[in-house]
Structure 1
Amino acid sequence: MATAARKAPAKSRSDGKSAGLSAPKPVDFTKDEELDAYRRMLLIRRFEEKAGQLYGMGFIGGFCHLYIGQEAVVTGMKMALIDGDQMITAYRDHGHMLAMELSPRGVMAELTGRRGGLSRGKGGSMHMFSKEKHFYGGHGIVGAQVSLGTGLAFANRYRGNNNVTLTYFGDGAANQGQVYESFNMASLWKLPVIYIIENNRYAMGTSVSRSSAETDFSHRGDSFKIPGIQVDGMDVRAVKAAGDLATEWCRDGKGPLILEMQTYRYRGHSMSDPAKYRSKEEVQKMRSERDPIEQVKARLLDKKWADEDELKTVDKEVRDIVADAAEFAQNDAEPDPSELWTDIVL
């Protein structure tokens, strides 16, 4: 059923605006896919919880933006990729790294500024990179990664390969001028880029309704003839279905596509944000009714594909991985001062 939905053609109106696409029906996961999604999302959740603890203990300095609540977005999209597809994002990036299978030790050690970190302790929470895993950052400048992701897609088109670039940004960054310059270029040259807007509703602390004249972010590409889809970003199956549609669209040479992932962050914008702009009741309602991990857990139990003891075992295995990463990150050596003079273009 999902395959049929993916092949629905996009139509353009005579005024030049894209008529858009309909969101495909969430895919039906197999037992193995449900378990894999559960494990992957749980790793991100437990990792971020531990990162929050280490920040509070003083092991992590600078900025630290947690991904708790948004795990289904990167997990579902990763399931739609093939080898060589790229990912680039902003500074809420730990979950994206783990989804791209970067080492938990390497990510955590970078958070604590140690030699074993993915940027050798020099980038911190917001600036990590792995060419080997096709992960191109972690970027601290709001919206900058959108232009860079568009450039990655241009390189793919120039080389004539079959790869697609996932370019993530938030509802706040969606108002940046360089985003629209990138849209124009991507549409003009039909670049294989998927613009994924992670709409977690509050940007740095201002609700979408107060900061954006157009609150349906799937329409942000209309004037550039880029179709868009609104996706339930709290349901990993819906994300996977949208990811399948979008990657097929790009690989078929149809140009860019926008996916607005309607998601939610449980914590503040960063660790220093008390998030007083929303009620505790609102957050609790999302946790109790829409949590992406609990949705998968409920399906596994309902279908008798796993029992409570089996899922507890998965949780323990994930916690052990995170504990190992934290232990490594707290005890690894700090970078040698000579590292100050490496990776510098004069």
Structure 2
Amino acid sequence: MASQLLRRAGKLINVSASATKNLASSLAPISQANRSFASAAEDTNPITIEIAVPYKAHKCEPPSLLATTTPQELVQFFKTMFLMRRMEIAADSLYKSKFIRGFCHLYDGQEAVCVGMEAALTKTDCIVTAYRDHCIHLGRGGTVKEIMSELMGRKDGCSLGKGGSMHMYKKENNFYGGNGIVGAQTPLGAGLAFAQKYSKVEGVTLAMYGDGAANQGQLFEAMNIAALWDLPVIFVCENNHYGMGTAEWRSAKSPEYYRRGDYVPGLKVDGMDALAVKQAVKYAKEYALTKGAFVLEMDTYRYHGHSMSDPGSTYRTRDEISGVRQERDPIERIRKLLLAKEIVTVADLKNMEKEAKKEVDDAVAQAKESPQPDPSELLSHIYVKGLGTEVFGPDRKEFTAVLP
């Protein structure tokens, strides 16, 4: 068909027969590649992949090292992780250009934890995390525009421009933040799991924290009550090995965080492998729904510093960072898998990358056009209206008010 159309076109514009033939042959592989990619993106035939790094288990049997996936899922993993990476790189640039102010903690390097986790969950399951939350929000169904707008303090942000980098939420999809107090999200996660059990909801809560928060007392209190009441909560330690800037071996007598729950079973997972994460979360969810609390330690790595004020190279070498990028990068793993299984071509991957870059660029442009919140919004979303709650100054005799 393509060659017939080109021959007709050749007559109209006086193209030679040989040129027409050459043009037709050059277009044929492109058309075939597009059809191949379209079918791969919709292909749900199961594929079995062997997980490279074995799990380490505490008080439980480890899950199988054979993970089941599909071409469609692997394509989606690549798309989502690359989009996350581009979004965080854009946030870095915007921060340095002073479009983003205040705190900003980037997630690049840790994308496999988020996408692997979501692959094993539904939106009935709850997630609560710390301040490194941009990609978690995206994984829960948020948009790049919402995130960029929030980072820049604009009205179209997911928290209406009033939360910033550390306070992103998507309640309709059971994402409860984005919490700025280190470790405070872990007892909140136990509380969400209690609500699920009390309401007889068939779901679990993932309470995410970093190795820097893993030594806090409130985490162990939350684990204790969760184990005592068999709450469906999974405590997920994203161990990127440096906390705010202190190596784990300097801050923890026992950096085996998957064992730190003692009486709570746990797994150590290669957090740079999306399929390993998916398999582990699926296993932990099944356990938590029937037996209660579970601990997952995700062995991951952040490429940026702790926050934008941290260059990230004073407590580790640049060679170490580049070494992880070359050997363990989560996006490159999926890229190699897609090519090895001949699911997509190099050209397909480049097209996906271009689409992700355009989506981020468009979102940044739209976010910059979004207005800032009205000053009156400073006083909204603080209290529930209509309760007639009384508030007092330091001396009740001097100041008393009833909130509207």
Q: Tell me the TM-score range normalised by the shorter chain.
A: over 0.9
8 Å Cα contact 1:23/1:230 also seen in 2: no
User: Is residue 2:378 matched to residue 1:340?
Assistant: yes
Query: Would you say 1:308 and 2:346 are equivalent positions?
Result: yes
Distance 2:285 2:358 in 1: 34
Q: Which runs of 5+ in 1 are unaligned?
A: 3-10, 12-17
Q: Residue in 2 aligned with 1:260? A: 297
Structure 1 residue matching 2:234: 3-state secondary structure: strand
Structure 1 residue 205: Cα displacement? 0.2
Q: Per chain length, whose mean CA-contact separation is higher, i.e. which structure has more relative contact order (CA < 8 Å, sep 6+)?
A: 1
Give the counterpart letter for 1:33 in structure 2. E
Deviations 1:106-162 (A, max 9, x none): 111000000011111111000111111211000000001001111000000000110
Matching of residues 232-271 of structure 1 within 5 Å: 232-251=270-289, 253-271=290-308
Residue 142 (structure 1) aligned to one of 172, 182, 190: 182
Please tell me whether the aligned partners of residues 123 and 140 of structure 2 are also in contact (alpha carbons under 8 angstroms).
no
Structure 2 counterparts to residues 66-81 of structure 1, below 5 A: 66-81=106-121
Displacement of 1:29 in angstroms is 2.2
1:312-331 per-residue CA deviation (whole Å, 9 max, x = no partner) reads: 11111111111121111111
C-alpha distance in structure 1 between counterparts of 2:98 and 2:265, whole Å: 45
Residues 203, 269 of structure 1: 8 Å contact kept: yes
Q: Which of 317, 332, 338 is equivalent to 2:355?
A: 317
Post-superposition, which runs of at least 4 consecutive aligned residues in structure 1 deviate over 6 A? none
- Separation in 1 of the partners of 2:63 and 2:106? 28
Q: How do residues 122-201 of structure 1 correspond to structure 2 at under 5 angstroms?
A: 122-201=162-241
Contact 1:217 1:260 in 2 (8 A): yes
Q: What is aligned with 1:5?
A: none
Contact 1:143–1:173 (CA<8 Å) still a contact in 2? Answer: yes
Quote the residue 1:291 is aligned against: 329
SS of residue matched to 1:166: strand
Amino acid corresponding to residue 259 of structure 2 in structure 1: H
How far did residue 21 of structure 1 move?
Answer: 3.5
**Greater CA radius of gyration, 1 or 2?**
2
How do 1:220-239 and structure 2 match up within 5 A? 220-222=260-262, 225-239=263-277
In 1, the alpha carbon distance for the partners of 2:66 and 2:330 equals 14
Q: How many Å separate the matches in 2 of 1:19 and 1:237?
A: 23
SS of equivalent residue, structure 1 residue 151:
helix
TM-score when normalising by structure 1: 0.93
Unpaired segments ≥5 residues, structure 2: 1-46, 49-56, 384-390, 392-404
Residue type of the alignment partner of 1:271? M
Is the 1:21–1:229 Cα contact (8 Å) retained in structure 2? no
Q: Distance in 2 between matches of 1:83 and 1:123?
A: 22
Q: Quick one: which amino acid aligns to residue 341 of structure 1? A: L
Q: CA deviation at 1:27?
A: 1.1
